[in-house]
Structure 1
Amino acid sequence: MDKVAKPNNRSWQLQKRRLEIHVLPKWGDRKLDTIRRADVRELIESIEGEVSPNRNLTLVRTLLRYAVSRDWIEASPAEAIAKPKIENPRDRVLEMDEVRRVYVGADLLGYPFGGFIKMLLLTAQRRTEVAEMRWEQINLDAAVWVIPSESAKSGRPHLVPLSALAVRLLRSVPRLGDYVWTSDGNSPISGFAKLKQRLDAFLAASGGALQPWVLHDLRRTAATHMVRLGVTETIVGRVLNHAVQGVTATVYALHSYAPEKREALDRWAADVQREMEGCSPLSISGSAHPR
């Protein structure tokens, strides 16, 4: 990974994580020249999710092409493998009633997965960034979370103001290790497809099933509702840590737009809280209150 992904890809940490989760457990003790096309197909077909199979196929192709370039193998067995999933651009945005159902359903999941789902909603950050959240990155007294450059997809450190609701959530969870969301105290949570299936099962059993959605829709949902609440698209882009074309890296100072980002996330958290008012943990279906 250091030779292939790190010099050429700002998301190399994510690529490394995919390698550790999906590839090494199956191929870690294999010699490269023993891997056949059927092995690649079996590996990719075993991976769950809407986009994860395609992303991992791309990763495997990149690594095997590098092996060919170094004459470690003569040909890559991944080249003739078609992507298993057709990826369509997504525009799914959850309505506030659906946000409430997801938020209440997260309570039923418990720690660590329930809190993780809530933090995805409240911060509008990427799934991997939230999953790999560390206590050392968080200042609860100052109500900020700083995503370091090596963890951020953008390759830049990113300051995320924490709303009072997010701070309260973080103060309520146990500290089992370096990671905020962990099952074993040593590593961040994973298995997002199964997590989503569990949440969907809870929602369906409680009469609150949603139309098809994926975890990444929570980020788009938060962003869209912030705009509805009067936040400018420019500030929403800063909250999301999107690159702005023509803006140099020096302009992206860590504390740039911090007050505006805080106002945006506070508005969003307040709207979520309003939706939750009068809603019991068992009240997933139905409406919390008229909007």
Structure 2
Amino acid sequence: MSRVRLTDRSVAALKPKEKRYDVSDSLRVGLRVRVAPSGNKTWVFEKRIRGGQLRSHTLGRFPVISLGEAREKALTLEKEAMEGIDRKAEAATKQTVSTVLDTYEKLHLEHLRTGKERRRQLNTALAKHLNEPISKLERRHLQEFIDKTAGAGTLVLANRYKAALSAFAGFAWRRGYTDHNIGAGLSNATREKPRDRVLTLEEVRAIYDATELISPLWKPLIRLLILTAQRRNDIAGLRYGEIDFERQRIDLPSARTKNGKPHIVHLSDPAFALVEAFKPENDNETPPDLLFTTTGTTPVSGFSKVKSQLDKLLPEDMEPWTFHDLRTAFATIMAETGASESVVDRILNHAASGSAASAVARVYNQSQQLKPRAAVLDHWAALVTQETADVVSIAS
């Protein structure tokens, strides 16, 4: 970093480069002008507080703040530093985690499509510290919450919290609320694969709403995929005889499931309405064998084409996603509401099969999980179809 006797003319003549660079003022030591690649020029003053830490202050942009004004501001800060006055420390003690979160939301989150969900995540992760001074918040507090979430088995959710906390910590540090970036170096709970993309509740609802504009064949299929959180082929190959209209559920035979075991899928009211539309209007009509078919003998195909149609109807800034991500979104969002991991796993037909339980025990365990599974799917349907996307906890 070069040091020269700056003038307003020399500062105005500074040209942007590929990377940001600083030019220090030789007259007022610690004062420098920072030139960004965009061409913006910002005054920065750095001085160590007597008996304390080195502090960096942003004084404003040139030419709104002239060189003379920047030197005056720097001189004031230098005098305070010599007297042991630490503006940032004093400001930090007055700023709680909650007030900084409010500022973060106003300046950043409000401009994001997923800003409300990100604020909710941060409120959850920082619940114990919301009323504490931001200066007291430490990296270990953030990592402890991430590790606790991961320890509950929700690894991908833990990664989402880590991303939210890292971004907020970076904001707090850049704005001077903390002495250093407490989010730097936070560890992920797991190394995610590309298929671990977690759709937000708003994104799931956007996909659900977009199906209104696709073909009448695909609309109920995609909506049923979302509302039941089942595998794509299980729903695409759904047969009329697999629907139990009296008990409002789907009974998938072992021959049609990935793990070779029969699987029961509760149908929430919105999901049941979709399959009920396939019932013949009178008893003389023959019901269809396959619900989703163009040939009458084979399940519908062409998911890639339908996916392309949906993508054109979704927000342009929405990140790439797959149909499998709908299942991951269900598992993650319902875990946030307090749903039991074992119940979610059974809904997804991920139930562990490592132990050899007796036949009676297997039937007993399955029957004991049917009501909780129905409750979780009913709650999921309400979250997807309601007008607002506020997640309400179902934990007891």
Q: What TM-score, normalized to structure 1?
A: 0.60
Structure-2 separation of matches of 1:162 and 1:290? 22
Match of 1:195 in 2: 306
Structure-2 separation of matches of 1:243 and 1:218? 18
Which residue identity does 2:293 align to in structure 1? T
Does 2:252 correspond to 1:140?
A: no
Counterpart of 1:129 (choices 216, 234, 237) is 234
Structure 1's 99 and 105: CA in aligned 2 closer, same or farther, altered over 3 A?
A: same
Structure-2 separation of matches of 1:195 and 1:90? 19
The equivalences for 1:208-247 within 5 A come to 210-247=318-355
Structure 1's 88 and 155: CA in aligned 2 closer, same or farther, altered over 3 A?
A: same
Match of 2:394 in 1: none
Structure 1's 133 and 263: CA in aligned 2 closer, same or farther, altered over 3 A?
A: same
Return 5+ residue gaps in structure 1 as ranges.
1-86, 278-287
SS at match of 2:226: helix
Structure-1 separation of matches of 2:206 and 2:316? 7
By how many angstroms is 1:139 displaced? 1.4
Higher relative contact order (CA 8 A, sep 6+): 1
Structure 1's 128 and 146: CA in aligned 2 closer, same or farther, altered over 3 A?
A: same
Which residue identity does 1:185 align to in structure 2? G
By how many angstroms is 1:111 displaced? 2.2
User: 1:115-138: CA deviations, max 9, x gaps?
Assistant: 111111111111111111111000
May I ask how many residue pairs the two structures share in their alignment?
Answer: 190
Structure-2 separation of matches of 1:96 and 1:105? 14
Structure 1's 181 and 114: CA in aligned 2 closer, same or farther, altered over 3 A?
A: same
Structure-2 separation of matches of 1:173 and 1:93? 32
8 Å contact 1:177–1:186 — kept in the other structure?
no
SS at match of 2:334: helix
Match of 1:37 in 2: none
8 Å contact 1:162–1:262 — kept in the other structure?
yes
Structure 1's 290 and 153: CA in aligned 2 closer, same or farther, altered over 3 A?
A: closer
8 Å contact 1:159–1:255 — kept in the other structure?
no
Structure (1 or 2) with the larger CA radius of gyration = 2
Structure 1's 148 and 256: CA in aligned 2 closer, same or farther, altered over 3 A?
A: farther
Counterpart of 1:179 (choices 281, 290, 302) is 290
The equivalences for 1:1-291 within 5 A come to 88-173=193-278, 177-203=288-314, 207=315, 210-248=318-356, 250=359, 251-253=361-363, 255-274=367-386, 277=387
RMSD in angstroms over aligned alpha carbons? 2.4
Structure-1 separation of matches of 2:209 and 2:278? 16
SS at match of 1:156: coil
Q: What TM-score, normalized to structure 2?
A: 0.45
Runs of 4+ aligned residues of structure 1 deviating over 6 Å after TM superposition are none
SS at match of 1:150: helix
Which residue identity does 1:109 align to in structure 2? I
Structure 1's 252 and 173: CA in aligned 2 closer, same or farther, altered over 3 A?
A: same
What percentage of aligned pairs have identical amino acids?
A: 38
SS at match of 1:257: helix
Higher strand share: 2
Match of 2:4 in 1: none
Structure 1's 270 and 150: CA in aligned 2 closer, same or farther, altered over 3 A?
A: same
